[in-house]
Amino acid sequence: MAFAARLMTAALVAAWGAGVDAQTLQVRADAGLIRVSSAKSQFLDGASLERLHNGAPVVFAIQVTLLTGSKGAVLARSAGRFAVSFDIWEEKFAVTRLGNPRRSTSHLAAAEAEAWCLENLTLTGAGLSPDATFWIRLDVRTEANGEGPTPGEEVGVTLARLVDLFSRPQREGETRRRAEAGPLRLRDLR
């Protein structure tokens, strides 16, 4: 019994240290697409926000994953890279989704900038039974200075880039966030 209690405590401490916060994600189904939003700040804070306020743009790699369980198999994934900048005179954010198609928006508050990034990442619910349970995971990671694409390289997201970015250890000055929601069912989201 003591071993089980220690194991549970270790799991809770590990989850807290990894930035897992299931209460912040809101998941909805809309016309066959699964969309994620957040009740509180996910990534425009801390060192990233300080860099932005000092005039440096920050590139975020964001991935939304549909899973069979908290640690289950991946059913679907949507990812993107977003360059965020801050206008110190207007105190507003601008965001550009990198890759094809390239999209931009500006004059946003922090919460609006984060919401815009998440709205640009959707998952398909096709093939998912309305009664099947699933989990949603949101991973956000900043790219270190100079870590961006080389000249001539496609600036979008590739599977190799995602594996490298989300599997390597966190580097100094990097932000890494993870949030999960589940278990969920499509019929409850409509």
Residue-wise pLDDT for 15-28, tens only, equals 333 343 445 789 99
Does 16 map to a domain?
no
- Say what the pLDDT of residue 99 is: 85
Q: What is the 3-state secondary structure (H, E, C) of the chain?
A: CHHHHHHHHHHHHHHHHCCCCHHHEEEEEECCEEEEEECCCCCCCHHHHHHHHCCCCEEEEEEEEEECCCCCCEEEEEEEEEEEEEECCCCEEEEEEECCCCEEEEEECHHHHHHHHHHCCEEECCCCCCCCEEEEEEEEEECCCCCCCCCCCCCCCCHHHHHHHHHCCCCCCCCEEEEEEEEEEHHHHC
Does 164 map to a domain?
yes
Q: Report the predicted TM-score, pTM, of the whole model to 2 decimal places.
A: 0.74
**pLDDT confidence bin for 9, thresholds 50/70/90:** very low
Does 40 map to a domain?
yes
Does 74 map to a domain?
yes
- Say what the pLDDT of residue 20 is: 39
Does 5 map to a domain?
no
Does 95 map to a domain?
yes
Does 6 map to a domain?
no
Quote the domain boundaries for residue 45.
Answer: 34-145+153-189
- Of 3-7, 49-53, 97-101, 176-180, which gets the smallest average pLDDT? 3-7
State how many domains the chain has.
1
